[in-house]
Chains A and B, each alone.
Chain A
Amino acid sequence: MKIKHLSLMLLTLVLVFGCSSKEKSEKPKIAVVVSTLNNPWFVMLAESAAENAKKLGYEAKIFDSQNNPAIESDNFENLISSGYDAILLNPTDSDGSISNILKAKTAGIPVFCMDREVNADDAATSQILSDNYSGCVSIGIEFVKELKEKGKYVEILGLVGDNNTWARSGGFHSVVDKFPNLKMVAQQSGDFDRNKAMEVLETILQANPDIDGVFCGNDAMAMGAFQALQAAGKETKVKIFGFDGAGDVIEKIREKKIIATGMQFPKVMAQTAAQYADEYFKGRKVFPQRVPVEVELVNAANIKDY
Chain B
Amino acid sequence: MTISLNHPIIKKSQSLIALFLLCLFISLLSDKFMTSTNLWNVLRQISVNVCISVGMTLVVLMAGIDLSVGSVLGLTAAICAGLLKSGLSFESMDLFVGFSVLGAILAAILIGMALGLFNGWVITKFAIPPFVATLAMLTIARGLTMLYTEGIPISNLGPEFEFIGSGWILGIPVPVWISLFMVLIVVFLTKKTTFGRYIYAIGGNEKAAFLSGISINKIKLAVYGIAGMMAAVGGVLVTSRLNSAQPNAGMSYELDSIAAVVIGGTSLSGGVGTVAGTVIGAIIIGVLNNGLVLLDVSPFWQQVVKGIVILLAVIIDKMNQKNK
| B242 engages A227 (CB within 8 Å) | yes
Smallest beta-carbon distance B42→chain A, Å:
8
Q: Which residue in chain A gives the minimum CB-CB distance to B39?
A: A206
Q: Given A189-B299, A195-B242, A227-B242, A203–B290 Cβ distance below 8 Å?
A: yes
Q: Tell me whether chain A's interface is mostly helix, strand or loop, or mixed.
A: helix
CB-CB under 8 A for A203 and B41, given A40-B152, A195-B242: yes
Return the chain B residue nearest A46 by Cβ: B151
Bound-state CA distance A40–B33 (Å) is 36
Any A CB within 8 A of the CB of B90: no
Q: Are B151 and A37 in contact (CB under 8 A)?
A: yes
Question: Do A193 and B293 touch (CB < 8 A)?
Answer: no
* Interface flag for A236 (CB, 8 Å): no
Number of B residues near A (Cβ < 8 Å) is 33
CA distance A231 to B238 in the complex (A): 15
- Cα(A150)–Cα(B151), bound, Å: 39
A220 at the interface (CB under 8 A from B): yes
- Total interface residues in chain A, CB < 8 Å: 30
How many A-B contacts are there with CB distance less than 8 Å? Answer: 79
Is residue B267 within 8 Å, beta carbon to beta carbon, of the partner chain? no
A70 within 8 A of B: no
Residue numbers in A under 8 Å from B246 (CB-CB):
193-195, 220
Flag whether B153 is at the interface (Cβ < 8 A).
yes
Contact A38 B247 (CB under 8 A): yes
In the complex, whether B14 has a CB less than 8 A from a CB of chain A is no
Partner of B248, one of A39, A44, A185, A223: A39
Give the residue of B244, B294, B300 whose beta carbon is less than 8 angstroms from that of A206. B294
Q: B-facing mask of A226-237, CB < 8 A → 1, else 0? A: 010001000000
Q: Are B293 and A40 touching (Cβ within 8 A)?
A: no
Q: Does A248 contact B (CB under 8 A)?
A: yes
**Would A206 and B37 count as touching, CB distance under 8 A?**
yes
Give Cα distance in the complex from A248 to B30, angstroms.
35
A242 within 8 Å of B (CB atoms): no
- Contact pick for B151, options A40, A188, A223, CB 8 Å: A40
Q: Kindly list 11 other residue pairs between chains A and B, CB separation below 8 angstroms, not including A186-B293, A199-B289, A231-B166.
A: A40-B247, A188-B293, A189-B299, A193-B246, A194-B153, A202-B45, A203-B38, A204-B294, A206-B35, A248-B153, A248-B155
Q: Interface residues, chain B, CB within 8 Å of chain A?
A: 30, 32-33, 35, 37-38, 41, 45, 146, 150-153, 155, 166, 238, 241-244, 246-249, 251, 289-290, 293-296, 299-300
Interface residues in chain A, defined as those with a beta carbon under 8 Å from any beta carbon in chain B: 37-40, 43-44, 157, 160, 185-189, 193-195, 198-200, 202-204, 206-207, 220, 223-224, 227, 231, 248
